[in-house]
Amino acid sequence: MTKEATASRVELGELLPLMEEFYTIQGEGHHTGTAAYFIRVGGCDVGCHWCDVKESWDAAIHPPTEAAAIVANAKKYSKTIVVTGGEPLMWDMEHLTGLLKAEGMQVHIETSGAYELTGTWDWICLSPKKRMLPKPRIYKEANELKVIIYNKSDFDFAEEHAAKVNEACELYLQPEWSVREKMTPLIVDYVMANPKWKISLQTHKYLNIP
């Protein structure tokens, strides 16, 4: 396949820069404790300094992989699929989610919302970042707002975005892993004073699983 043909198929979402795929337990947010198959797509320019998967940022180092092959592998393991990154919405998700839904799968996404929403989703976890704010539409679509708390100013940031999501959207505050011992007590106090919020923890790291 020529470079031009490959680029065209990537543009259509028929090929995606697959970083990794694995079957594990969802460790964060609403679906914590649920078995799920994760599809991690390469490519991200949001650039969080505390990102724990920086190797996902450069899409060029992750091979363009047939979306159909990704789905064929995923369906061997689980009916619950989580598409993550990187920032998966850098790519057109219509083709991938169409194939997944045709197999009867529940399809979730974890995204910063920095790019326009594409694809058909059963659950949208919006985790906004300061460097590239979410596009307006996703606030109406999000099922879950998960804000990472790295310092005290992030509580104000969280409230700004909570004011924009739909009424049914669940609200989570999650300590950034490297400062969890410092920030978790502050989050506990904040949630007790503001019970519309819930606490999310990266339980997969405590369990030492992917």
Q: Are 147 and 172 in contact (CB under 8 A)?
A: yes
Residue 82, beta-bridge partner list: 38, 108
57 is in an annotated binding site: no
Q: What is the DSSP string of 152-201?
A: THHHHHHHHHHTTS-TT-EEEEEE-GGGHHHHHHHHHHHHHHSTTEEE--
Q: Are 15 and 67 in contact (CB under 8 A)?
A: yes
174 is in an annotated binding site: no
Distant-in-sequence, close-in-space partners of 182: CB < 8 Å, separation ≥ 6: none
175 is in an annotated binding site: no
125 is in an annotated binding site: no
84 is in an annotated binding site: yes
Q: What's the rounded Cα separation, in Å, for the pair 45 and 108?
A: 21
200 is in an annotated binding site: no
**Closest among 109, 38, 32, 36 to 78, alpha carbons compared:** 36
86 is in an annotated binding site: yes
Q: What's the rounded Cα separation, in Å, for the pair 151 and 93?
A: 33
| Structure tokens that stand for 169 in this block | 């959207």
51 is in an annotated binding site: yes
27 is in an annotated binding site: yes
26 is in an annotated binding site: yes
129 is in an annotated binding site: yes
78 is in an annotated binding site: no
Q: What's the rounded Cα separation, in Å, for the pair 18 and 65?
A: 6
Mark the binding-site residues for [4Fe-4S] cluster, compressed into ranges. Answer: 44, 48, 51
Mark the binding-site residues for S-adenosyl-L-methionine, compressed into ranges. Answer: 50-52, 86, 127-129
Mark the binding-site residues for substrate, compressed into ranges. Answer: 25-27, 40, 84, 210
Mark the binding-site residues, compressed into ranges. Answer: 25-27, 40, 44, 48, 50-52, 84, 86, 127-129, 210
